Amino acid sequence: MNNLLLQLTDRGLYCSPGDFYVDPWAPVDRAVITHAHSDHARWGSARYLVAAPGLAITRRRLGSDTEIVPLDYGKPTDRNGVRISLHPAGHILGSAQVRIEHRGEVWVVSGDYKRDDDPTCAPFEPVRCHTFITEATFGLPIYRWPPAAEVFAEINAWWRANQQAGKASVLFAYALGKAQRLLAGVDQTIGPIYAHGAVQAVNDLYRASGVPLPETRYAGEAPRDTDWSQALIIAPTSARDTPWLRRFGRISDGFASGWMRVRGQRRRRSVDRGFVLSDHVDWPGLMLAVRETGAERVFVTHGYTAVVARWLSEQGLEAHPLETRFDGDEEEEGEGADHESGHE
Protein backbone atom coordinates (compact mmCIF):
# COMPACT_ATOMS: atom_id res chain seq x y z
CA MET A 1 0.00 0.00 0.00
CA ASN A 2 2.79 2.43 -0.80
CA ASN A 3 1.97 5.93 -2.07
CA LEU A 4 -1.69 5.39 -1.37
CA LEU A 5 -4.06 7.72 0.43
CA LEU A 6 -4.10 5.26 3.33
CA GLN A 7 -1.11 3.15 4.25
CA LEU A 8 -0.69 0.23 6.58
CA THR A 9 1.95 1.08 9.20
CA ASP A 10 3.01 -0.63 12.41
CA ARG A 11 0.60 1.65 14.29
CA GLY A 12 -2.33 1.11 11.98
CA LEU A 13 -3.96 2.60 8.90
CA TYR A 14 -2.34 5.98 8.29
CA CYS A 15 -3.44 8.86 6.07
CA SER A 16 -0.23 10.69 5.30
CA PRO A 17 -1.57 13.92 3.71
CA GLY A 18 -4.09 14.31 6.56
CA ASP A 19 -1.65 13.07 9.22
CA PHE A 20 -4.13 10.87 11.11
CA TYR A 21 -4.79 7.18 11.75
CA VAL A 22 -7.99 5.15 11.52
CA ASP A 23 -8.47 2.78 14.49
CA PRO A 24 -4.73 2.72 15.36
CA TRP A 25 -3.54 -0.16 17.55
CA ALA A 26 -0.74 1.90 19.11
CA PRO A 27 -0.81 5.43 20.56
CA VAL A 28 -0.74 8.21 17.95
CA ASP A 29 -1.39 11.94 17.77
CA ARG A 30 -4.67 11.87 15.89
CA ALA A 31 -7.01 8.91 15.69
CA VAL A 32 -10.30 8.58 13.85
CA ILE A 33 -12.30 5.81 15.51
CA THR A 34 -14.94 3.68 13.75
CA HIS A 35 -16.56 2.44 16.99
CA ALA A 36 -16.00 1.77 20.67
CA HIS A 37 -15.20 -1.97 20.59
CA SER A 38 -11.83 -2.65 22.15
CA ASP A 39 -9.98 -3.78 19.03
CA HIS A 40 -10.86 -0.50 17.30
CA ALA A 41 -10.86 2.09 20.10
CA ARG A 42 -7.50 1.59 21.77
CA TRP A 43 -6.32 3.64 24.67
CA GLY A 44 -3.35 6.05 24.64
CA SER A 45 -3.72 8.37 21.64
CA ALA A 46 -3.69 12.16 22.11
CA ARG A 47 -6.90 12.99 20.21
CA TYR A 48 -9.84 10.98 18.95
CA LEU A 49 -12.54 11.80 16.44
CA VAL A 50 -15.74 9.74 16.80
CA ALA A 51 -19.29 9.80 15.46
CA ALA A 52 -21.41 11.90 17.82
CA PRO A 53 -23.84 9.12 18.90
CA GLY A 54 -20.87 7.06 20.11
CA LEU A 55 -19.36 9.77 22.30
CA ALA A 56 -20.59 8.44 25.66
CA ILE A 57 -19.56 4.83 25.06
CA THR A 58 -16.19 5.83 23.62
CA ARG A 59 -15.57 8.08 26.62
CA ARG A 60 -16.32 5.19 28.92
CA ARG A 61 -13.84 3.00 27.02
CA LEU A 62 -11.03 5.56 26.80
CA GLY A 63 -11.42 7.49 30.04
CA SER A 64 -12.96 10.86 30.86
CA ASP A 65 -9.73 12.88 30.62
CA THR A 66 -9.08 11.83 27.00
CA GLU A 67 -9.67 14.38 24.24
CA ILE A 68 -12.55 12.99 22.17
CA VAL A 69 -14.15 15.14 19.49
CA PRO A 70 -17.65 14.14 18.30
CA LEU A 71 -18.63 14.60 14.66
CA ASP A 72 -22.19 14.31 13.33
CA TYR A 73 -22.83 11.68 10.66
CA GLY A 74 -22.41 13.10 7.18
CA LYS A 75 -20.80 16.34 8.31
CA PRO A 76 -17.34 16.89 6.79
CA THR A 77 -14.30 18.19 8.61
CA ASP A 78 -11.12 19.23 6.79
CA ARG A 79 -7.55 18.60 7.76
CA ASN A 80 -4.52 19.55 5.61
CA GLY A 81 -6.68 19.48 2.50
CA VAL A 82 -8.13 16.09 3.38
CA ARG A 83 -11.88 15.90 3.90
CA ILE A 84 -13.07 13.44 6.56
CA SER A 85 -16.68 12.45 7.20
CA LEU A 86 -18.34 9.67 9.18
CA HIS A 87 -21.30 7.62 7.95
CA PRO A 88 -23.49 5.07 9.76
CA ALA A 89 -22.12 1.50 9.76
CA GLY A 90 -25.13 -0.12 11.49
CA HIS A 91 -22.83 -2.18 13.75
CA ILE A 92 -23.41 -0.71 17.25
CA LEU A 93 -24.42 2.69 18.59
CA GLY A 94 -22.15 5.35 17.08
CA SER A 95 -20.40 2.98 14.66
CA ALA A 96 -19.10 4.74 11.58
CA GLN A 97 -17.57 4.22 8.19
CA VAL A 98 -14.81 6.75 7.58
CA ARG A 99 -14.91 8.56 4.24
CA ILE A 100 -11.63 10.21 3.26
CA GLU A 101 -11.34 12.50 0.26
CA HIS A 102 -8.16 14.03 -1.11
CA ARG A 103 -7.77 15.71 -4.50
CA GLY A 104 -10.85 14.00 -5.88
CA GLU A 105 -9.86 10.54 -4.66
CA VAL A 106 -12.25 8.89 -2.19
CA TRP A 107 -11.58 6.05 0.24
CA VAL A 108 -14.00 4.50 2.69
CA VAL A 109 -13.01 2.42 5.72
CA SER A 110 -16.01 0.36 6.76
CA GLY A 111 -14.99 -0.52 10.30
CA ASP A 112 -17.31 -3.32 11.45
CA TYR A 113 -20.75 -3.11 9.83
CA LYS A 114 -24.02 -4.88 9.19
CA ARG A 115 -27.04 -4.26 7.03
CA ASP A 116 -29.72 -5.95 9.15
CA ASP A 117 -32.39 -4.21 11.23
CA ASP A 118 -31.16 -2.87 14.53
CA PRO A 119 -33.26 -0.29 16.37
CA THR A 120 -30.34 0.63 18.64
CA CYS A 121 -28.26 2.37 15.98
CA ALA A 122 -28.50 4.27 12.71
CA PRO A 123 -28.76 1.96 9.66
CA PHE A 124 -25.78 1.23 7.41
CA GLU A 125 -25.48 3.73 4.61
CA PRO A 126 -23.68 2.86 1.35
CA VAL A 127 -21.02 5.45 0.48
CA ARG A 128 -19.59 5.74 -3.04
CA CYS A 129 -15.81 5.57 -3.24
CA HIS A 130 -12.86 4.54 -5.38
CA THR A 131 -11.25 2.34 -2.74
CA PHE A 132 -13.19 0.45 -0.05
CA ILE A 133 -11.66 -1.21 3.00
CA THR A 134 -14.15 -3.80 4.22
CA GLU A 135 -14.27 -6.17 7.16
CA ALA A 136 -14.82 -9.89 6.43
CA THR A 137 -15.51 -11.45 9.84
CA PHE A 138 -18.18 -13.68 8.25
CA GLY A 139 -16.82 -13.61 4.71
CA LEU A 140 -17.80 -17.11 3.64
CA PRO A 141 -20.85 -18.02 1.52
CA ILE A 142 -22.25 -20.21 4.34
CA TYR A 143 -22.86 -17.13 6.46
CA ARG A 144 -26.33 -15.81 5.62
CA TRP A 145 -28.40 -14.27 8.36
CA PRO A 146 -32.07 -15.07 8.84
CA PRO A 147 -34.29 -11.99 9.25
CA ALA A 148 -33.87 -10.56 12.76
CA ALA A 149 -37.64 -10.76 13.35
CA GLU A 150 -37.45 -14.56 12.93
CA VAL A 151 -34.61 -14.83 15.40
CA PHE A 152 -36.46 -12.74 17.97
CA ALA A 153 -39.56 -14.94 17.56
CA GLU A 154 -37.33 -17.94 18.37
CA ILE A 155 -35.88 -16.22 21.42
CA ASN A 156 -39.34 -15.26 22.70
CA ALA A 157 -40.61 -18.83 22.22
CA TRP A 158 -37.58 -20.24 24.06
CA TRP A 159 -38.15 -17.83 26.96
CA ARG A 160 -41.84 -18.81 27.23
CA ALA A 161 -41.01 -22.53 27.10
CA ASN A 162 -38.43 -22.08 29.87
CA GLN A 163 -41.00 -20.29 32.01
CA GLN A 164 -43.33 -23.28 31.68
CA ALA A 165 -40.51 -25.64 32.52
CA GLY A 166 -39.62 -23.53 35.59
CA LYS A 167 -36.19 -22.53 34.30
CA ALA A 168 -34.52 -19.14 34.15
CA SER A 169 -33.52 -18.05 30.62
CA VAL A 170 -29.90 -16.94 30.51
CA LEU A 171 -28.89 -15.38 27.23
CA PHE A 172 -25.19 -14.77 26.60
CA ALA A 173 -24.12 -11.98 24.28
CA TYR A 174 -21.40 -9.42 23.89
CA ALA A 175 -21.97 -6.67 26.47
CA LEU A 176 -21.56 -3.72 24.11
CA GLY A 177 -23.98 -3.67 21.21
CA LYS A 178 -25.38 -7.19 20.97
CA ALA A 179 -26.88 -7.17 24.47
CA GLN A 180 -28.72 -3.90 23.78
CA ARG A 181 -29.94 -5.12 20.40
CA LEU A 182 -31.36 -8.19 22.15
CA LEU A 183 -33.11 -6.04 24.73
CA ALA A 184 -34.65 -3.84 22.08
CA GLY A 185 -35.86 -6.87 20.13
CA VAL A 186 -37.31 -9.28 22.69
CA ASP A 187 -40.98 -9.15 23.78
CA GLN A 188 -40.74 -7.41 27.13
CA THR A 189 -44.31 -8.38 28.07
CA ILE A 190 -43.22 -12.00 28.57
CA GLY A 191 -41.56 -11.40 31.91
CA PRO A 192 -38.98 -9.40 33.85
CA ILE A 193 -35.59 -8.77 32.25
CA TYR A 194 -32.39 -8.74 34.28
CA ALA A 195 -28.88 -7.78 33.26
CA HIS A 196 -25.40 -8.68 34.43
CA GLY A 197 -23.49 -5.64 35.73
CA ALA A 198 -21.31 -5.38 32.62
CA VAL A 199 -24.43 -5.28 30.44
CA GLN A 200 -26.35 -2.96 32.73
CA ALA A 201 -23.56 -0.35 32.61
CA VAL A 202 -23.78 -0.23 28.81
CA ASN A 203 -27.58 -0.19 28.91
CA ASP A 204 -27.41 2.99 30.96
CA LEU A 205 -25.03 4.59 28.45
CA TYR A 206 -27.35 3.69 25.58
CA ARG A 207 -30.33 5.17 27.41
CA ALA A 208 -28.34 8.31 28.21
CA SER A 209 -27.50 8.53 24.49
CA GLY A 210 -31.21 8.52 23.62
CA VAL A 211 -31.73 4.86 22.68
CA PRO A 212 -35.00 3.56 24.17
CA LEU A 213 -34.52 0.17 25.85
CA PRO A 214 -36.97 -1.79 28.00
CA GLU A 215 -36.46 -1.65 31.75
CA THR A 216 -33.74 -4.00 32.97
CA ARG A 217 -33.06 -4.86 36.57
CA TYR A 218 -29.54 -5.36 37.81
CA ALA A 219 -29.32 -9.07 38.64
CA GLY A 220 -26.70 -8.47 41.33
CA GLU A 221 -29.14 -6.41 43.40
CA ALA A 222 -32.14 -8.70 43.15
CA PRO A 223 -33.61 -9.95 46.47
CA ARG A 224 -32.69 -13.46 47.56
CA ASP A 225 -36.23 -14.79 47.09
CA THR A 226 -36.53 -13.63 43.46
CA ASP A 227 -38.41 -16.10 41.27
CA TRP A 228 -35.95 -16.43 38.40
CA SER A 229 -38.05 -18.96 36.51
CA GLN A 230 -39.97 -16.18 34.76
CA ALA A 231 -36.94 -14.03 33.99
CA LEU A 232 -34.72 -13.40 31.01
CA ILE A 233 -31.16 -12.66 32.11
CA ILE A 234 -28.73 -11.06 29.67
CA ALA A 235 -25.10 -11.73 30.49
CA PRO A 236 -21.70 -11.43 28.80
CA THR A 237 -20.10 -14.66 27.63
CA SER A 238 -17.41 -14.16 30.28
CA ALA A 239 -20.05 -15.02 32.90
CA ARG A 240 -20.39 -18.57 31.58
CA ASP A 241 -19.25 -21.33 33.90
CA THR A 242 -18.89 -18.90 36.80
CA PRO A 243 -20.43 -19.02 40.28
CA TRP A 244 -22.44 -15.90 39.33
CA LEU A 245 -24.88 -18.21 37.52
CA ARG A 246 -25.71 -20.30 40.60
CA ARG A 247 -28.16 -17.77 42.03
CA PHE A 248 -30.59 -18.48 39.18
CA GLY A 249 -31.14 -22.13 40.07
CA ARG A 250 -32.29 -24.21 37.10
CA ILE A 251 -31.47 -22.47 33.85
CA SER A 252 -31.60 -22.89 30.13
CA ASP A 253 -28.79 -21.01 28.42
CA GLY A 254 -28.56 -19.52 24.95
CA PHE A 255 -25.95 -17.71 22.94
CA ALA A 256 -26.66 -15.07 20.30
CA SER A 257 -23.96 -14.85 17.65
CA GLY A 258 -23.28 -15.19 13.94
CA TRP A 259 -21.14 -18.23 14.78
CA MET A 260 -24.31 -20.08 15.76
CA ARG A 261 -24.96 -20.45 12.04
CA VAL A 262 -22.48 -23.32 12.12
CA ARG A 263 -23.45 -26.42 14.03
CA GLY A 264 -19.90 -27.29 15.09
CA GLN A 265 -19.57 -23.93 16.84
CA ARG A 266 -22.80 -24.57 18.68
CA ARG A 267 -21.48 -27.89 19.89
CA ARG A 268 -18.23 -26.34 21.02
CA ARG A 269 -20.11 -23.71 22.97
CA SER A 270 -22.28 -26.38 24.57
CA VAL A 271 -25.18 -24.04 25.21
CA ASP A 272 -28.78 -25.27 25.11
CA ARG A 273 -29.71 -22.92 22.30
CA GLY A 274 -27.85 -20.95 19.64
CA PHE A 275 -29.49 -17.92 18.06
CA VAL A 276 -28.09 -16.66 14.77
CA LEU A 277 -27.81 -12.94 15.39
CA SER A 278 -24.76 -11.02 14.29
CA ASP A 279 -23.70 -7.39 14.29
CA HIS A 280 -21.42 -8.11 11.33
CA VAL A 281 -22.34 -8.24 7.68
CA ASP A 282 -23.09 -11.66 6.16
CA TRP A 283 -21.82 -12.89 2.79
CA PRO A 284 -24.62 -11.53 0.56
CA GLY A 285 -24.59 -8.25 2.49
CA LEU A 286 -20.85 -7.91 2.04
CA MET A 287 -21.06 -8.50 -1.70
CA LEU A 288 -23.90 -5.98 -1.98
CA ALA A 289 -21.94 -3.43 0.06
CA VAL A 290 -18.93 -3.73 -2.22
CA ARG A 291 -21.13 -3.31 -5.33
CA GLU A 292 -22.93 -0.30 -3.88
CA THR A 293 -19.70 1.58 -3.17
CA GLY A 294 -18.82 1.39 -6.85
CA ALA A 295 -15.22 0.85 -5.73
CA GLU A 296 -12.66 -0.44 -8.22
CA ARG A 297 -10.28 -1.45 -5.49
CA VAL A 298 -11.08 -3.29 -2.25
CA PHE A 299 -8.88 -4.12 0.73
CA VAL A 300 -10.21 -6.84 3.03
CA THR A 301 -9.53 -6.99 6.79
CA HIS A 302 -10.86 -8.94 9.76
CA GLY A 303 -11.60 -12.62 9.25
CA TYR A 304 -11.80 -14.41 5.92
CA THR A 305 -9.66 -11.84 4.10
CA ALA A 306 -8.13 -14.20 1.52
CA VAL A 307 -11.43 -15.83 0.55
CA VAL A 308 -13.20 -12.52 0.03
CA ALA A 309 -10.27 -10.93 -1.82
CA ARG A 310 -10.03 -13.92 -4.17
CA TRP A 311 -13.77 -13.89 -4.82
CA LEU A 312 -13.76 -10.16 -5.60
CA SER A 313 -10.74 -10.57 -7.88
CA GLU A 314 -12.68 -13.18 -9.81
CA GLN A 315 -15.43 -10.59 -10.23
CA GLY A 316 -12.89 -8.31 -11.93
CA LEU A 317 -12.09 -5.99 -9.03
CA GLU A 318 -8.65 -5.20 -7.72
CA ALA A 319 -8.79 -6.81 -4.29
CA HIS A 320 -6.20 -7.55 -1.61
CA PRO A 321 -6.22 -8.96 1.91
CA LEU A 322 -4.94 -6.45 4.43
CA GLU A 323 -3.31 -7.73 7.58
CA THR A 324 -4.61 -5.40 10.26
CA ARG A 325 -4.82 -6.20 13.94
CA PHE A 326 -8.59 -6.10 14.27
CA ASP A 327 -8.54 -9.82 14.90
CA GLY A 328 -10.04 -10.15 18.34
CA ASP A 329 -13.60 -10.26 17.20
CA GLU A 330 -15.50 -8.56 19.97
CA GLU A 331 -18.78 -10.28 19.38
CA GLU A 332 -17.27 -13.71 19.76
CA GLU A 333 -14.50 -13.08 22.27
CA GLY A 334 -11.52 -15.09 21.21
CA GLU A 335 -13.34 -17.13 18.60
CA GLY A 336 -11.24 -15.46 15.89
CA ALA A 337 -8.51 -18.10 16.09
CA ASP A 338 -11.21 -20.61 15.30
CA HIS A 339 -11.84 -19.26 11.83
CA GLU A 340 -10.25 -22.12 9.97
CA SER A 341 -12.21 -24.76 11.82
CA GLY A 342 -15.44 -22.90 11.17
CA HIS A 343 -15.99 -24.85 7.96
CA GLU A 344 -17.21 -28.04 9.54
Which stretches of the chain bind Zn ion, using CB under 5 A?
A: 37, 39, 112, 326, 330
**Total Cβ atoms within 10 A of residue 331:** 25
Nearer to Zn ion, 91 or 102 (CB): 91
Interatomic CA distance for residues 258 and 307, integer angstroms: 18
Nearer to Zn ion, 38 or 315 (CB): 38
Indicate the angle between helix axes 148-165 and 178-185, nearest 10 degrees.
80
Nearer to Zn ion, 97 or 169 (CB): 97
* Contact yes or no for 258/194 (Cβ under 8 A): no
Smallest gap from residue 37 Cβ to Zn ion (A):
4
Smallest gap from residue 122 Cβ to Zn ion (A):
15
Nearer to Zn ion, 41 or 170 (CB): 41
Smallest gap from residue 230 Cβ to Zn ion (A):
33
Name 244's Cβ contacts closer than 8 Å, sequence gap at least 6: 196, 235
* Contact yes or no for 144/260 (Cβ under 8 A): no
The answer to whether the Cα torsion of 188, 243, 278, 36 is positive or negative is: positive
**Total Cβ atoms within 10 A of residue 103:** 8
Interatomic CA distance for residues 231 and 194, integer angstroms: 7
Distance of CA 189 to the CA centre of its chain: 27
Nearer to Zn ion, 206 or 326 (CB): 326
Interatomic CA distance for residues 26 and 10, integer angstroms: 8
The residue type at 193: I
Nearer to Zn ion, 140 or 233 (CB): 140
Smallest gap from residue 330 Cβ to Zn ion (A):
5
Smallest gap from residue 161 Cβ to Zn ion (A):
32
Nearer to Zn ion, 57 or 295 (CB): 57
Smallest gap from residue 328 Cβ to Zn ion (A):
8
* Contact yes or no for 276/284 (Cβ under 8 A): no
Cα angle 321, 327, 54 (rounded to 5 degrees) comes to 105
Smallest gap from residue 302 Cβ to Zn ion (A):
6
Smallest gap from residue 205 Cβ to Zn ion (A):
16
Nearer to Zn ion, 330 or 332 (CB): 330
DSSP 333: S
Strands across the sheet containing 6-9:
6-9, 12-15, 20-22, 30-32, 47-51, 67-71
For the chain, the farthest-separated pair of C-alpha atoms sits apart, in whole angstroms, at 66
